[in-house]
Amino acid sequence: MATTISFGEGNSGLQGGIFNGPVNAQFDHHAPPERPETPPNPSIVIPFSRDADFVEREILDQIHRKCAVSGSRTALVGLGGVGKSQLAIEYAYRTRDRSPETWVFWIHASNAARFEESFREVADHVKIPGRKNPTANIFQLVRDWLCDDKKGKWVLILDNVDDAGFLVEDRRTGQDGQTSDAGSGNLRPLVSYLPQCQNGTILVTTRSKGAALKVVEPGDIIAVGPMSRADGLALFEKKLGSQEDGKELDELAAVLEYMPLAIVQAAAYISQRVPRYSVRQYLQDFRKSDKKRTSLLNCDGGQLRRDGQAKNSIIIT
């Protein structure tokens, strides 16, 4: 028995036959509409846990005062290893403690690729409509979302902006001769997508004052130096415990110039080798030769609260 199929009102025939007359067929070349998503409640979105051994530093009060101003931009500038990122992490968690309704976002800003990746992660987390469209300008989507007062208050932390060239360059003639695939028409300098609005603040960490000035005003730079003697000793004691000789800890902290990263790395090196190793032995090894000193300072100890793609050892600073 043949099967009859109809096209319109006046055309019929056997399956596989020849049909005369118009065939009305419509094809939707557009992607299916996105399903509505329930946006999450304000939260802290950073890739690092809080440091239970964090030592209170006076500079943290200065950071709080600067960042408390609506629409402010502040930069922490200092040598690698002085604790800029650690201060930013602690500030992020304290902001969350004081103001649970405030969003906190962390942007890896060491290069253009990581900057874009972080913006995409923000868009995914807050479920911005249109973010999955391959032609979407992800930077514009995130900027518009942040500038919407209805979304609430937020803090945006740009970590490791050591070379701000990628933020300000003409993206039609970038360093690699190519433009980003973050969306069509996305040729504006990336720095232009950093929001200028009153419901949020931006905190930058960088080793370079010049890089900081690409994002903040000169008066909004906070210089971060080594720890005080008391703070350096307190950090050592938290990391190693109180069983170590106080005089030797004091001596080692001074030798390490009270640099937080150097102290943490030394403590990790010693802790991994006790009871066969001690602060005294570390001091002796440190003073043996430049080669041994370099070797010790290159042991990063696998820092859990530092960017895994950043250079962690103190020697490179």
Residues 6 or more apart from 260 whose CB is under 8 A from it?
Answer: 81, 82, 83, 86, 226, 227, 232, 235
CA angle 188, 189, 195 (to 5 degrees): 95
What residues pair up with 107 in beta bridges, in sequence order? 158
**Exposed e or buried b per residue across 128-158, where buried means at least 16 C-beta atoms within 10 angstroms of its C-beta:** beebeeeebbbbbbbbebbeeeebebbbbbb
Compute the distance between CA of residue 209 and CA of residue 199 in angstroms, rounded to an integer: 26
The residue out of 223, 254, 285 marking a domain boundary is 223
Residue 21 counted as domain residue: no
Domain containing residue 248: 229-316
Tell whether 201 and 254 lie within a shared domain: no
**Each residue's pLDDT tens digit, 58-116:** 999 999 999 999 999 999 999 999 999 999 999 999 999 999 999 999 999 999 999 99
Tell whether 159 and 100 lie within a shared domain: yes
Residue 79: which of 271, 270, 226, 266 has the closest Cα? 226
Tell whether 129 and 251 lie within a shared domain: no
**What confidence tier does 17 reach under pLDDT thresholds 50, 70, 90?**
very low
Compute the distance between CA of residue 131 and CA of residue 34 in angstroms, rounded to an integer: 10
Q: Is 33 exposed, middle or buried (0-12, 13-18, 19+ CB in 10 A)?
A: exposed
CA angle 186, 188, 192 (to 5 degrees): 120
Provide the whole-model pTM.
0.83
**What are the helix (H) ranges across 128-206?**
138-146, 165-168
Query: 143-146, long-range: CB within 8 Å, 24+ apart, which pairs?
Result: 143/193, 143/194, 143/195, 146/195, 146/197, 146/199, 146/200
Mean pLDDT of 131-156: 96
CATH assignment of the domain containing 212: 3.40.50.300
- Compare 170 and 169 and report the one with higher pLDDT: 169
Residue 23 counted as domain residue: no
Q: Which residue is it, tokens 């969306």?
A: 183
Tell whether 192 and 240 lie within a shared domain: no
pLDDT of residue 4: 44
Residue 174 counted as domain residue: yes
Tell whether 214 and 170 lie within a shared domain: yes
The residue out of 223, 257, 282 marking a domain boundary is 223
- Compare 301 and 150 and report the one with higher pLDDT: 150
**What confidence tier does 241 reach under pLDDT thresholds 50, 70, 90?**
confident
pLDDT exceeds cutoff 70 at 172: no
Residue 85 counted as domain residue: yes
**Each residue's pLDDT tens digit, 253-276:** 999 999 999 999 999 999 898 888
The residue out of 200, 223, 246 marking a domain boundary is 223
Residue 289 counted as domain residue: yes
Tell whether 58 and 174 lie within a shared domain: yes
Tell whether 216 and 238 lie within a shared domain: no
- Tally of domains in the chain: 2
What is the H or E stretch that residue 231 is in? helix 229-240
238: three-class secondary structure by DSSP:
helix
**Each residue's pLDDT tens digit, 273-315:** 888 899 999 999 999 888 888 888 887 655 555 676 665 545 4
Residue 26 counted as domain residue: no
